[in-house]
């Protein structure tokens, strides 16, 4: 019978980690890959049936590949600590991996919860990720952020979804964007890309216009405005940080 390991990467996730673990409790193994959290994340996690390993964070891809190598079972599901697998998806996963000829990997829909609201427009629309896969047929690629899963073989799509609680406070949200911006800037710098005035002056407002107007982010009310605005800020800081790397500054 096929076994399932759910991998949960963590760094200071005391606010959400318990609900993530509870939603993953149907799995054969829950593997926490922790980047040396300084809060109560591990204290909370160890109250449950979990395996914990720790590794200093360098990038998202290598962190998850490290955990995949240590998983005990054939099937892997990647669950962020601020995500929840709804009961319907739990049953669908259990059924799918026990089929005689399953796909090698499956895409899963993500429903974003932001500032207390379910987001339906902007960048949240049609948000899917490949989260369930057979470990011998998949590996995360070289991208440092928004990592891509390289799959050898067919992909399917599951009907049900995970809930993603992206907002735990304004300062945290902005801090997360800054962290991603540094990783993205480093990735572009390593590829030889350079920032110019167009990237800093034109791309951020276009990102806001695209997300808030063209993709109808305004339909999500004030949270839709905040999300579009901070995402455009993230684009601007990404290219500012790239410029700083070009000129050997911080």
Q: Which CATH number do you get for residue 9?
A: 3.90.550.10
User: What's the 3-state SS for 125-153?
Assistant: CCCEEEEEEEHHHEEECCCCCCCCEEECC
Alpha-carbon dihedral sign for residues 117, 119, 122, 128: positive
pLDDT of residue 172: 80
Share of the chain above pLDDT 70, in %: 96
How far from chain centre, in Å, is Cα 97?
22
91, 27: one domain: yes
79, 140: one domain: yes
Structure tokens at 117: 């609201």
Strands (E), 18-116: 29-34, 51-54, 75-78, 83-85, 105-114
Report if residue 213 sits inside a domain. Answer: yes
What pTM did the predictor assign? 0.82
pLDDT of residue 126: 67
How far is residue 156's CA from residue 110's CA, in Å, rounded to a whole number? 15
52, 145: one domain: yes
Report if residue 181 sits inside a domain. Answer: yes
56, 141: one domain: yes
Report if residue 239 sits inside a domain. Answer: yes
30, 141: one domain: yes
Q: Which domain holds residue 53?
A: 4-100+131-149
Residue whose C-alpha is closest to residue 106's, from 46, 64, 151, 167? 151
96, 190: one domain: no
pLDDT of residue 12: 93
| pLDDT tens digits along 50-106 | 999 999 998 889 999 999 999 999 999 999 999 999 999 999 999 999 999 999 999
Report if residue 138 sits inside a domain. Answer: yes
pLDDT of residue 189: 93
Report if residue 108 sits inside a domain. Answer: no
User: Domain count of the chain?
Assistant: 2
Give the residues of the chain that fall short of pLDDT 70.
1, 125-126, 143-147, 250
pLDDT of residue 144: 64
Other Cβ atoms closer than 10 A to 93: 23
220, 136: one domain: no
**Stated length of the chain:** 250
209, 144: one domain: no
70, 137: one domain: yes
pLDDT of residue 1: 55
């Amino acid at each position: 019978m096929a076994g399932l390991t759910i991998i949960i990467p963590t760094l200071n996730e005391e606010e959400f980690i318990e609900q993530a673990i509870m939603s993953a409790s149907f799995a054969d193994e829950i593997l926490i890959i922790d980047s040396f959290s300084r809060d109560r994340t591990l204290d909370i996690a160890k109250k449950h049936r979990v395996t914990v390993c720790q590794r200093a964070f360098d990038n998202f891809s290598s962190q998850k590949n490290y955990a995949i190598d240590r998983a005990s079972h054939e099937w892997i599901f990647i669950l962020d600590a601020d995500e929840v697998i709804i009961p319907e998806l739990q049953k669908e996963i259990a059924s799918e991996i026990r089929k005689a000829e399953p796909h090698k990997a499956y895409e899963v829909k993500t429903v974003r919860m932001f500032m207390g609201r379910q987001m339906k427009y902007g960048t949240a629309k049609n948000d899917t990720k490949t989260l369930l896969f057979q470990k011998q047929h998949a590996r995360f690629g070289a991208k440092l952020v928004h990592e891509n899963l390289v799959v050898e073989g067919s992909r399917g799509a599951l009907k049900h979804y995970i809930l993603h609680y992206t907002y735990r406070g304004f300062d945290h949200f902005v801090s997360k964007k800054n962290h991603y911006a540094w990783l993205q800037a480093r990735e572009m710098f390593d590829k030889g890309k350079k920032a110019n005035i167009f990237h800093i002056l034109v791309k951020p407002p276009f990102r806001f216009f695209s997300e808030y107007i063209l993709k109808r982010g305004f339909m999500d009310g004030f949270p839709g405005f905040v999300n579009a605005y901070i995402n455009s800020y993230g684009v601007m800081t990404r290219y500012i940080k790239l410029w700083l790397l070009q000129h050997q500054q911080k």
